[in-house]
Amino acid sequence: MQPNDNVLADLFSNDGSRRNVSIYLAFLVVAFLYHASVFWFIMGDDIQSKYAQSEYVIEFEESSEIFTDSRTIDDGEKATIDFTAPSNLFDSNSGFGLLLITITYTETSGEFGDPCDTISADLSVTDVSADWKNENNELSGVSSDCEAISLLLHVYPDYDGESMDVVGMDETYWTETWSNSSYGQGMFQLDVEVIVNEPITSGIPTVSDTNEKVDVTWEPVFFEVSVRENS
């Protein structure tokens, strides 16, 4: 018989020994339950508050300005129209959120039965810092029925104008995350092409349709960010 076996045999050799061991084990169980209850019930709130992360609501107040340009473009020709957002808009806002572009035209030849010309517009990807790969961008469009063409570029990454809930960090962190004037700085370039659709009277020598007047509206949408703790 091993020495350890002898010790166990001595502990349980009589009723007194077994009673002492049972009391000792019961004491350990009670002590364990006490400390567990203190940890989970008495100190639980303190422990939870120590490791809980604050929640914040981020909201945006938008403002925009309208800038217009017009060009007369010959049949088969392409014109490049440039736009740069004024510096004062960057200075007075947290960021440049979206760029909206609207291209409009009407059939201006005045000839009988002259159908609408075909207009195509493409916002070129330049070195301007913007969210060029955003899946919700609309960077090109075509119209053959005199309907307006609407383009959209998300400039500030992940910006959609909607408020959002975030967890962790602090108000300063989230305010600085949404305050960056580098996005949208520089020149945007819009390529517009005209394809003239001849009227049914185009065979008459005095009747011709050789160009089209195109109006472009640029609307840069800026935002001011506010962050508050969600209590």
pLDDT confidence tier of residue 109, bands split at 50, 70 and 90: low
| Contact present, 89 and 65 (Cβ < 8 Å) | yes
Alpha-carbon distance of 130 to 222, in angstroms, equals 13
Q: What is the pLDDT of residue 14?
A: 58
Q: Using one digit for the tens of pLDDT, what is the confidence trace for 172-197? A: 999 999 999 999 999 999 999 999 88
Alpha-carbon distance of 172 to 159, in angstroms, equals 18
- Give domain limits for the chain: 3-51, 55-229
Q: Using one digit for the tens of pLDDT, what is the confidence trace for 55-66? A: 999 999 999 999
Q: Is the pLDDT of residue 27 over 80?
A: no
| Residue scoring higher pLDDT (7 or 93) | 93
Q: What is the pLDDT of residue 143?
A: 97
Architecture of the domain delimited by 55-229 = Sandwich (2.60)
